[in-house]
Amino acid sequence: MSADAPSHFIRNLVSRDVAAGKHGGLVVTRFPPEPNGYLHIGHAKSICLNFGIAKDFGGVCHLRFDDTNPAKEELAYVRAIQEDIHWLGFEWDSLRHASDYFEVFYQCARKLIEDGKAYVCDLNAEQVREYRGTLTSPGRASPWRERSSEENLDLFTRMREGEFDDGRRTLRAKIDMASPNINLRDPAIYRIRKISHQNTGNAWPIYPMYDYAHCISDAVEGITHSLCTLEFEDHRPLYDWYLDQLNLRSHPELSASLTDPQVSRPEQTEFSRLNLDYTVMSKRKLVELVQKELVEGWDDPRMPTLSAMRRRGFTPESIRMLCDRVGVTKQVNVIDFGVLEGCVREDLDKRAQRRMAVLDPLPVTIENLDEGYTADIEVSNHPQQPELGTRTLRHGRKIYIERTDFEEVPPKGFKRLIPEGNVRLRHIGIVHCVGVDKDDTGRVTGLRVTLYKPEDAPKVKGTIHWVSAEHGQRAQVRLYDRLFSVANPDSGEGSYIDHLNPNSCQVIDAAWVEPAAADGVAETRFQFERIGYFVADRREHEPGKPVFNRVVSLRDSWAKR
RNA sequence: UGGGACGUCGCCAAGUUGGUAAGGCACAGGGUUUUGAUCCCUGCAUUCCCAGGUUCGAGUCCUGGCGUCCCAGCCA
């Protein structure tokens, strides 16, 4: 186990199992996404947990697509999911699909029927609902519950042959219609769906249900620790019931269709999912945001999906740091958005090279420099990390500074430029403001300053950034903010959509950046000094047409006042 | 008394067989600083959902309450 791996109840449990020689001392986990949407930050927690546990105990972790419902699943999603996992920094030991085991599921179902543990039910969906009872009252037995094994086998075979229409019949487990756990009231095992499957085409007119397929998939892959989220706690008795009835290890014929099954008796353990405030995490809602075009797609930088966070400029390290930081427990939790922001700031502060950019340019003329004057300044790319090298900063008589760095009537404590005041221009030196130019409306249109000789320069409190008017490049900069304007968009009255933050994306078309920023390749991250961390947009940034996304602002104890 | 789970600082979260409340984030002060950034110090739960009980001693054990979340798809 790696030394810095945070300890938590699942790690402790696995550790005890290994020490006790359970599962032959093996650790095999899996990350089992359904390919019906993009992965989000919540999945990252599960990915870090499953791959992390395997790695730390010398085990393996599979990526398994839980593709048992072709009505909702698409190949495009399976590709995106693989890309996101790789980007996050993980590699699966083998790639699986639940659909690889369709024949095993089928053989297992026949055994259940032969053993009198499953039956074909002719009730329709609505009738099943009526027979199921309620949370506080028991259900009633289906009229088809006592069919003979022979009849069930015949009917199930014909279901598999495609003889019946969609929804006409189901195969159900025969457990207990009076169970206080609704999952045990004769749950469906197979339903009829004549839909083409992205992996198996039209080979199957029937598809297995999650509870049934998942535990068998785990067992047949040799999974030792099946980790999932809290909402499956109630399903664990069913998970165990199927595996106990089937006893796959004593019945190798059931998995004979597989070349090298490593049959285990897995155990499910549940943990709480990751929730972040100011966003939504349910796949249904994320799909809705995309389909209703409330965002610009799955990778819109405001989305909590991994591909969006990548585009926004988050690093894989920062996301893994968040997962470490929030821990693994069974407590329902909502993490402050600020924790995520803190993680990227910490990571990017360490590694992002510094550049200068001006978002709202105010022209400044340095009057005691000649027309055509040019200076080259060699500056460090990172104040604390000289190994990140240097670059040359060029400027002449005219530069741009940030409009907010000048105030005619400064508030108390203002450390930047004021009329007749002094300020340091980062890397250039100290200047004195000698003139303020305005238009008819009184708006400041430019400043005139003079540069002190280093030996004559007075002490100043403030340093401001700038970009050379002659050498800088125009850039588009997008300032992103949280997608929703309330901490919990799901609570309270109305739809979560009513709480979308109208100011979640501000596009600045006429920002200025120094050449050494504009020239970076897409996905290069910089700190624009005194502003924040930015990334060259993965899709739209190109040399000569720079486009930057703000990952996160710098902490600003001045703005906070 | 439908079933399942969870309740330790504003948000997370450690708390081994009962021995006298880790840490992170946030926040508040102070220092360094050619980024009002970073970094560095300091402070931040006499108290563990509540009430009883056992004990020399309880967040940890017992009893009884209270609160929150999940479950009635032929979704996962």
Note the pLDDT tens digit of each residue in A22-66: 999 999 999 999 999 999 999 999 999 999 999 999 999 999 999
Residues A382 and A315 in one domain: no
Residues A289 and A390 in one domain: no
A328 touches strand B (CB under 7 A): yes
Residues A460 and A483 in one domain: no
Q: CA-CA distance, A61 to A92, in Å (whole number)?
A: 6
Q: CA-CA distance, A209 to A20, in Å (whole number)?
A: 34
**What pLDDT digit, counting tens, does each position of A349-398 carry?**
999 999 999 999 999 999 999 999 999 999 999 999 999 999 999 999 99
pLDDT at A491: 77
A422 touches strand B (CB under 7 A): no
Domain boundary, last residue among A273, A306, A321: A273
pLDDT at A485: 94
Tell me, what amino acid is at A8?
H
Interatomic CA–C1' length for residue A332 and nucleotide B56, angstroms: 38
Q: What is the mean pLDDT of chain A?
A: 96
**What pLDDT digit, counting tens, does each position of A60-73 carry?**
999 999 999 999 99
Q: Whole-angstrom distance between the N-terminal and C-terminal Cα of chain A?
A: 45
Residues A70 and A118 in one domain: yes
Residues A543 and A506 in one domain: yes
- CB contact set of A37 (below 8 Å; sequence gap of 6+): A77, A283, A286, A287, A298
pLDDT at A3: 44
Question: Is-catalytic flag, A34?
Answer: yes
Domain boundary, last residue among A431, A465, A499: A465
A325 touches strand B (CB under 7 A): yes
Q: CA-CA distance, A368 to A449, in Å (whole number)?
A: 8
| Residue A262 DSSP one-character state | -
Residues A189 and A110 in one domain: yes
Residues A297 and A408 in one domain: no
Q: Which residue has the tokens 């279901």?
A: A159
Work out how many domains chain A is built from and give that number. 3
Judge whether A362 and A403 are in contact, CB under 8 Å.
yes
pLDDT at A2: 41
Residue A181 has which token pair? 């756990």
CB atoms within 10 A of CB A352: 24
pLDDT at A490: 86
Q: C-alpha dihedral over A33, A34, A39, A40, to 10 degrees?
A: -90
**What pLDDT digit, counting tens, does each position of A437-486 carry?**
999 999 999 999 999 999 999 999 999 999 999 999 999 999 999 999 99
Interatomic CA–C1' length for residue A232 and nucleotide B70, angstroms: 9
What does the DSSP assignment read for A480-492?
Answer: E--SBSSS-TTSS
Evaluate if pTM is beyond 0.90: yes
Protein residue closest via CA to C1' of B68: A332
pLDDT at A329: 97
SS3 A63: strand
Residues A379 and A347 in one domain: no
- CB contact set of A288 (below 8 Å; sequence gap of 6+): A294, A497
pLDDT at A543: 85
Inside any domain, residue A1: no
A337 touches strand B (CB under 7 A): no
Residues A300 and A385 in one domain: no
Inside any domain, residue A535: yes
Overall size of chain A counted in residues: 561
Protein residue closest via CA to C1' of B72: A134
Domain boundary, last residue among A465, A497, A515: A465
Inform me whether the pLDDT recorded for A1 exceeds 70: no
A188 touches strand B (CB under 7 A): yes
Residue A110, domain extent? 9-273
What CATH number does residue A66 fall under? 3.40.50.620
Closest Cα to residue A427, out of A511, A347, A514? Answer: A514
Residues A433 and A525 in one domain: no
Per-residue pLDDT, averaged over A264-270, amounts to 98
Residues A410 and A506 in one domain: no
- CB contact set of A382 (below 8 Å; sequence gap of 6+): A352, A353, A354, A388
SS3 A242: helix
**What pLDDT digit, counting tens, does each position of A178-192 carry?**
999 999 999 999 999
What are the phi and psi torsion angles at A110 (to 5°)?
Answer: -65, -40
Judge whether A36 and A284 are in contact, CB under 8 Å.
no
What CATH number does residue A397 fall under? 2.40.240.10
- β-partners of residue A18 are none
